[in-house]
Structure 1
Amino acid sequence: MLSCLKKPLTVGTLLAAAALSLPGVAAAATAGPVDLGTLPGDQFSDVAAINAAGTMVGQSYPQDVRLRYHPVKWDRQGRISALPTLGGEQGSAVAVNDAGVAVGWAFDGHEGVHAVRWAPDGSVTALPWAGSSSDAGVISRTGVVAGGGVDPQGTRVSLRWAPNGSVTPLATLPGGGQTHVTGITGDGALLSGEATDAAGNQHAVRWTATGAITDLSPGNQGNPGATAAAINDFGVIAGTVTEAGRPAPVVWKRDGRQVRLGWPASPASATPRAINRAGVVVGSGYVDFAEDRAVRWSASGTTVLEGARRSAAVALNASGTIVGNVESVAARWDADGTETILGTLPGGQYSWATGIATDGTIIGRSDRSYGWHAVYWPAS
């Protein structure tokens, strides 16, 4: 497996490059990922999140048309253990905070689906909700949990659970329908998400701890509408608005002010995926049919991280190290833009990096002859 080391391209350089094709420079071999394996009897696994201590959470499942998910966690050494459900067979852990508290969903003994919280010792607690089903998607540093549920009328709503388990339904837009939480600040005071209005248009929104909603894109209409992909600890939200029928990248400051992010194509079409505490945003920008390029937006401007090949940046840590993929193989970009291709499991062709911890440990997945496995790349 080879690393590719390349300096970042500014937008001006990208536009000057013919057909966006600039050659990479091969470098020394690099170690591939570590296989996180599966529970006994399963063939596939996915890792969803990692905390600062190296605890990872996700799911393991068999090669079965029913896709029977089993919630799991891995320790810093990559050792897997099962997490309990509420008496049913299935569940999935999707987020974990630095205290080691994980959240997700699990079946009860009657196949009811409930949002759950797993303590560091693995014990499970159902989070209360009066509707027919619920699930948890994010957790703050302080233990605030958010997710969604189906209310007694059958409508999908968003929910916030305080550390003591009390639940607060999050407001919808006037006359609107479904909502979806996408992120939470470290203190749990603000949440990002998306909501539909009375006409069915999607809006980027923000909620406070009381459930009050702010429409961040009130004038934005049409398909695909507006999105709120992620929020940082200071309440800055990265997402998109619709311009000329395409998603244009923006951030919303804590005061609700919208700031346009640059992209050289016209009309603009780029999608933020993550934002760190420093306000650095990463994602991908569209350049041609089925072709995107990994991109970083920062105070110094727009930087195309990979100018020659199909790529995307999906996550970054506080130090500015970015992860994503290049031509369906996991990649890392250091803060100075240096690119490293991370490789695959032995016999695999594809891998994806999906998250990165404070210390630089990277999580993702890779194929191999008998299925997909969760993997991690230890911090160097």
Structure 2
Amino acid sequence: MLLTRTRCVRLVLVAAVLGLGAGLTPPAAPASAAPALASGASAGEACPRQMLGAPAGTRRAGIADADPTGRFQAGYVEDASFISRLALWTDGVAQPQTLGAEHPGVTGVNSHGDMVGSDFFPEGGGRGWSYRNGEFNTLPGLSAGASGFPAAVNAEGTAAGSSLDGGAFLPVLWAPDGAVRQLALPEGDTRGQAQDIDDDGTVVGWASTDAGVTHAVRWLPDGSVERLPGTPPQDGSRATAVRGGNVIGQVIPDTGDSSMLLWRWDTASPQAFTGTPQAVNARGAVVELTSYYVKLQLTEPDGTVRSLPTDTTPYPTGHVVALTDAGVAYGNWNSTPVKWDCRPAALAER
């Protein structure tokens, strides 16, 4: 993303989700509580929810990521014997392709169906992997004994994540051929992680000193790094995703309370809100978990707010992991993979 582009940064903490076997058929989505509207916003229709398919005998399943075009969704399916298998859905409706139990820990997928993830070892640490052209390959850490944790992959096949060696995370990129290199850290910082990568090569994540507060950072395609502006220096912040120049992450205020702050700012008017956004797309639409109603809602760039129905309990039973550029949200509801069709009318008719 170019520095001359308008910056729009939204900060998020991913919510925990209660478990329910995916093999069970959930009840129909109830009417959602009215969205909590910001000043000047308008309420739109609720986004219809639909379950994704799963093999017969599936006990539970989940989606970890979806590509921005909506073509592929990556996750896992778990059978009655508690064995998890890597799963790849196409267009979010058909039965997934299952790719064995050796690498179930997927974290990212792109528009070609390439995937990345990590295998975790009982003794600690892990080994990164990629799936491309029907083959699995190792994504190494920065040294022979370092663990690799890829978090995302862009359309080109470049993966972003972290290398762990000696208790310190360092942000890294893996080229499509698997070659690894470290990303630069802001001056004074000694560690960090890359959390997501955009198709233009922009990477977002966090960095910190050995004992200091974490800072949300962005690496530009030329490799330069900058701290994202706007949050007070005593607050902790982490950027977790980027799409089309829009960044989401989390801010933890240094105020003694437990509330998380949703930050959104551009070069003209920094603003702070309470809430937990979940995903962002290239159009600037954002899905968030509201602070007071504990329900999912999508806010369009024009201020229209639409609910993503889950259920009537006062708990966060659903969360979103990706929002396509057209406006389809993919995620999980009670350990069941689902999608919410939030496409604007003009895009839904295509």
1:322 aligns with 2:293: no
Structure 2 equivalent of residue 356 of structure 1: 323
Q: Which amino acid aligns with 1:329?
A: K
Q: 1:213 to 1:296 in 2, by over 3 A?
A: farther
Q: CA deviation at 1:319?
A: 0.8
Determine the C-alpha separation between the residues in 2 that align with 1:349 and 1:146: 34
Determine the C-alpha separation between the residues in 2 that align with 1:283 and 1:89: 31
Q: Does structure 2 conserve the Cα–Cα contact (< 8 Å) formed by 1:285 and 1:292?
A: yes
**Paired residues, number:** 300
Q: Does structure 2 conserve the Cα–Cα contact (< 8 Å) formed by 1:216 and 1:256?
A: yes
Q: CA deviation at 1:184?
A: 0.8
Q: Does structure 1 conserve the Cα–Cα contact (< 8 Å) formed by 2:151 and 2:195?
A: yes
1:311 aligns with 2:275: yes
Structure 2 equivalent of residue 255 of structure 1: 222
1:103 aligns with 2:74: yes
Structure 2 equivalent of residue 81 of structure 1: 53
1:280 to 226, 239, 246: 246
Q: 1:301 to 1:235 in 2, by over 3 A?
A: farther
Percent pairwise identity? 18
Matches for 1:145-156 after TM superposition, within 5 Å: 145-149=115-119, 156=126
TM-score by length of 1: 0.65
Matches for 1:4-23 after TM superposition, within 5 Å: 4-6=36-38
Which structure would you say has the larger Rg?
1
2:99 to 114, 123, 126: 126
Q: Does structure 2 conserve the Cα–Cα contact (< 8 Å) formed by 1:137 and 1:146?
A: yes
Q: Which amino acid aligns with 1:313?
A: P
Structure 1 equivalent of residue 86 of structure 2: 115
Residues 303-336 of structure 1, C-alpha deviations (whole Å, 9 max, x = no match): 3352xxx312231111111221221332333335
Matches for 1:130-149 after TM superposition, within 5 Å: 134-149=104-119
Structure 1 equivalent of residue 151 of structure 2: 182
Segments of structure 2 that go 5 or more residues without pairing to the other structure are 1-32, 345-350
Residues 258-300 of structure 1, C-alpha deviations (whole Å, 9 max, x = no match): 11111331224222222112x22123323332122212355x2
Q: 1:216 to 1:339 in 2, by over 3 A?
A: farther
Structure 1 equivalent of residue 161 of structure 2: 193
Q: Which amino acid aligns with 1:166?
A: E
Residues 189-222 of structure 1, C-alpha deviations (whole Å, 9 max, x = no match): x10111212x21011211111211121256743x
1:235 aligns with 2:201: yes
3-state SS of 2:218 partner: strand
Larger RCO: 1 or 2 (CA < 8 Å, sep 6+): 2
Structure having the larger proportion of residues in strand: 1
Structure 2 equivalent of residue 168 of structure 1: 137
Determine the C-alpha separation between the residues in 1 that align with 2:147 and 2:110: 23
Query: In terms of mean alpha carbon deviation, does 177-186 or 232-241 score higher?
Result: 177-186
Determine the C-alpha separation between the residues in 1 that align with 2:80 and 2:308: 41
Determine the C-alpha separation between the residues in 1 that align with 2:78 and 2:42: 47
Q: CA deviation at 1:151?
A: 7.9
1:203 aligns with 2:170: yes
1:294 aligns with 2:262: yes
Q: Does structure 1 conserve the Cα–Cα contact (< 8 Å) formed by 2:54 and 2:61?
A: no
Q: CA deviation at 1:183?
A: 0.8
Determine the C-alpha separation between the residues in 2 that align with 1:28 and 1:152: 50
Determine the C-alpha separation between the residues in 2 that align with 1:281 and 1:271: 10
Q: Does structure 2 conserve the Cα–Cα contact (< 8 Å) formed by 1:194 and 1:205?
A: yes
TM-score by length of 2: 0.70
Q: 1:373 to 1:84 in 2, by over 3 A?
A: closer
Determine the C-alpha separation between the residues in 2 that align with 1:273 and 1:318: 15
Determine the C-alpha separation between the residues in 1 that align with 2:123 and 2:34: 55
Q: Does structure 2 conserve the Cα–Cα contact (< 8 Å) formed by 1:133 and 1:150?
A: no
Q: Does structure 1 conserve the Cα–Cα contact (< 8 Å) formed by 2:308 and 2:340?
A: no
